[in-house]
Amino acid sequence: MERFRMEIESLSKNEELARVVTAVFMSRLDPTLEELDDVKTAVSEAVTNAVIHGYQEGEGIIYMELQAEEQELTVLVRDTGVGIRDVKKAMEPMYTTDKSGERSGMGFSFMEAFMDQVLVESEPGRGTLVTMKKKIGR
C-alpha cells in the first residue's frame, strides 16, 4: 500500500489545496478525468465540512491521509472539532445546520454520489472522521 499524509490548517482556501494534492496522489492509479473530478468533488465536500462544521470556521487542523492499494483509493479526512451528534440525520439530503441559507446540505450526498463507499464516524466534542473509498480505472 502507498500512503500519503498531511495536516492542513482549517482555512477555506485550503479546500482547493486538499483536492489538488489528492488529484496528484491519485494520478498514480491512472484515473480517467471523470474519476479525478469525482474524487476532487468528494474531497472538497469533506474538507469544507471540517472547516465550516467541525471547526465552525475557527482554528483547527485537518488531518488527511490518502492510500492507494492496487486500484483502490482511500481518502481519510479527520478533524478534532465539534463532531456530529446524529450522523444519520446529518447525512440526509438537504440537512444543514447553516442559518444563512447559502448551504445546500448536500455535502454528504455528493460524497456518496462520487465515491463507492463513505463512512462517517463522529463523537460530539471529539471530532469527525470521514473515510471514502473508490475503485479507479474500471
Partner 1 sequence: MEQSFIYEARGQVLLIHMPKELDHHNCRNLKYETDLLMAENYISRVVFDFSKTEFMDSSGIGILINRYKQMAANGGKVALYGVNDRVQRILTIGGITRLMKHYNTREEALIG
Burial 117-131 (b: 16+ CB within 10 A, else e): ebebebeeeebbbbb
Contact 79, 48 (CB under 8 A): no
Distance CA(61)–CA(94), nearest Å, equals 27
How many residues line the site for partner 1 (CB under 8 A)? 24
Interaction between residue 138 and partner 1 (CB under 8 A): no
Interaction between residue 35 and partner 1 (CB under 8 A): no
Distance CA(44)–CA(49), nearest Å, equals 9
Interaction between residue 15 and partner 1 (CB under 8 A): yes
Interaction between residue 50 and partner 1 (CB under 8 A): no
Q: Which of 10, 22, 48, 128 binds partner 1 (CB under 8 A)?
A: 48
Q: Which of 6, 37, 91, 121 binds partner 1 (CB under 8 A)?
A: 37
Interaction between residue 27 and partner 1 (CB under 8 A): no
Active site residue 103: yes
Q: Which of residues 55-114 bind partner 1 (CB under 8 A)?
A: 100-107, 109-110, 113
* Biggest CA pair distance of the chain: 43
* DSSP helix/strand/coil, 56: coil
Q: 52 or 73: whose CB is closer to partner 1?
A: 52
